[in-house]
């Protein structure tokens, strides 16, 4: 059977037009959630949804859905992502998933394809969490992770409330219009990492979203004059911390190729050139698809800190303060994505997402999955973010093929 294909040129035009909204001089976009730029982007999306014959609705969190009927009723196969961006972000993060979903619907229209289940396009509000923290707020609220009041009460740095800004831009709808329930959810997204490029593969079948745990380590020694203290009589907190930090890197390298560990933040006291550091506080970020491995990494870190404390005399304390469980995607959705790749004759590989996406929360409410498109240089959240037109088309074709499988197309 010959696979149906999207209109690659039309998809590029949509991406380019959306990227004009909030365009930055360096070739990226700034479209912060609930800003004037976000409103202008939403207006375009609404116009395009309506133009594709979709019934458009907006919920109480500003999530926008456009639905195409199936031959049967019931919950739709939901396709989408987000149109908000970070400051000086790229043209593809999020936008690709919404424009790709719209292109799928336009292609179904062009071909006169009737699906058994309805197919719907969604634009989730405030995925990035840059202006209003945390990230993935409105997919999270729909999946039951946050209450509406929690979301409404968030304020930006100027003290503007989420609810007021949502009303101001004209996208405060009603709870009855929420995108879920859905029969399944599919999100097309750029990889935001270097794996597909390194392996020369255009698309990735995403197995799930890794678990993350954040810890804070404090090493406390003794601040003292850098001159009179001989080396064997010091308790240098930074020298001790350095041993732990190189150990953190080793923990990930020795685990397996899925394990990553990062020390990204470090504070040093008193941070003076001629004083031995008395206290060092640093963060540790562990990520892995397997919860048990994360627990092992934490236990190993605790042992390492205890060992370094004993050997250096700098007392170490480990505090674990946040964990996000791994989210494996639904096997039926993952199989639909892989099947679509095979039907298109596309080389692909399975990989886990190291970053969070709306699909993480949506997966708690319905069967969900994701498709990754190769990112040039693995770059994202920057103006240089780029995916080649052929890869974008390949990803959108996989989205179409997988959606047809899940919606039981003709």
Q: List residues near Zn ion by CB under 5 A.
A: 93-94
CB of 124 to Zn ion, least distance (A): 9
Phi first, then psi, for residue 30 (nearest 5°) are -120, 105
Q: How far is the CB of 41 from Zn ion (least distance, A)?
A: 14
Give the span between the Cα atoms of 4 and 99, in whole angstroms: 18
Give the number of residues written for the chain.
410
Q: Which is nearer to Zn ion, 115 or 192 (CB)?
A: 192
Q: Which residue, 45 or 305, is less far from Zn ion as judged by CB?
A: 45
The helix/strand/coil state of 117 is: coil
Q: Which helix (H) or strand (E) holds 186?
A: strand 184-190
Token duo for residue 125: 């509000």
Q: Which residue is nearest to Zn ion (CB)?
A: 94
CA gap 123, 134 in Å, rounded:
17
Nearer to Zn ion, 205 or 276 (CB): 205
Q: Which is nearer to Zn ion, 31 or 57 (CB)?
A: 31
In the chain, the largest separation of any two C-alpha atoms, in whole Å, equals 84
List b or e across 117-147, with b for residues whose CB sees 16 or more CB atoms inside 10 angstroms: bbbbbbbbbbbbbbbbeebbbbbbbbbebbe
User: Rounded distance, CA 220 to CA 280, Å?
Assistant: 7
Residue 340: which of 100, 180, 82 has the closest Cα?
100
Question: Whose Cβ is closer to Zn ion: residue 81's or residue 309's?
Answer: 81
Cβ 394 to Zn ion shortest distance, Å: 19
Residue 245 backbone zone (phi > 0: left; psi -120 to 50: alpha; other: beta): alpha
Nearest residue to 95 (alpha-carbon basis) of 123, 115, 118: 123
**Nearer CB in complex with Zn ion: 179/277:** 179
């Amino acid at each position: 059977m010959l696979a149906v294909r999207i209109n690659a040129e039309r998809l590029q035009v949509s991406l380019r037009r959306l990227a004009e909204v909030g365009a930055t001089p360096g070739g990226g976009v700034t479209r912060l959630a609930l800003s004037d730029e976000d409103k202008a982007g939403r207006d375009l999306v609404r116009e395009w949804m309506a133009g594709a014959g979709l019934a458009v609705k907006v919920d109480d969190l500003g999530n926008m859905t456009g639905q195409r009927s199936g031959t049967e009723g019931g919950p739709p196969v939901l396709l989408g992502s987000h149109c908000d961006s970070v400051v000086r972000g790229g043209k593809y993060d999020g936008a690709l998933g919404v424009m790709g979903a719209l292109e799928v619907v336009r292609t179904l229209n062009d071909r006169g394809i009737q699906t058994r289940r309805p197919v719907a396009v969604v634009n989730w509000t405030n995925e990035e969490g840059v202006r209003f923290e945390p990230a993935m707020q409105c997919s999270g609220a729909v999946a039951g992770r946050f209450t509406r009041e929690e979301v409404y009460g968030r304020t930006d740095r100027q003290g503007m409330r989420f609810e007021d800004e949502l009303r101001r831009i004209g996208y405060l709808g009603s709870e009855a219009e929420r995108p879920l329930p859905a029969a399944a959810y599919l999100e097309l997204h750029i990889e935001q990492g270097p794996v597909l490029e390194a392996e020369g593969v255009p698309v990735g079948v995403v197995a799930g979203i890794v678990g993350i745990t954040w810890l804070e380590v404090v090493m406390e020694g003794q601040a003292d004059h850098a001159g009179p203290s001989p080396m064997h009589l010091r308790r240098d907190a930074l020298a001790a911390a350095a041993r732990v930090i190189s150990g953190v890197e080793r923990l990930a390298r020795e685990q397996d190729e899925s394990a990553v560990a990062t020390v990204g933040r470090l504070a040093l006291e008193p941070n003076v050139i001629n004083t031995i550091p008395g206290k060092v506080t640093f963060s540790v970020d562990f990520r892995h698809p397997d919860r048990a491995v994360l627990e092992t990494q934490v236990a190993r870190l605790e042992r390492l800190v205890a060992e370094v404390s004993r050997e250096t005399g700098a007392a170490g304390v480990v505090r674990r303060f946040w964990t996000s469980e791994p989210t494996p995607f639904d096997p039926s959705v993952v199989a639909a994505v892989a099947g679509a790749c095979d039907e298109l004759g596309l080389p692909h590989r399975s990989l886990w997402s190291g970053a969070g996406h709306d699909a993480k929360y949506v997966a708690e409410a319905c069967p969900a999955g994701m498709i990754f498109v190769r990112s040039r240089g693995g770059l994202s959240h920057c103006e240089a973010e780029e995916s080649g037109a052929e890869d974008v088309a390949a990803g959108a074709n996989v989205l179409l093929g997988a959606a047809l499988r899940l919606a039981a197309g003709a």
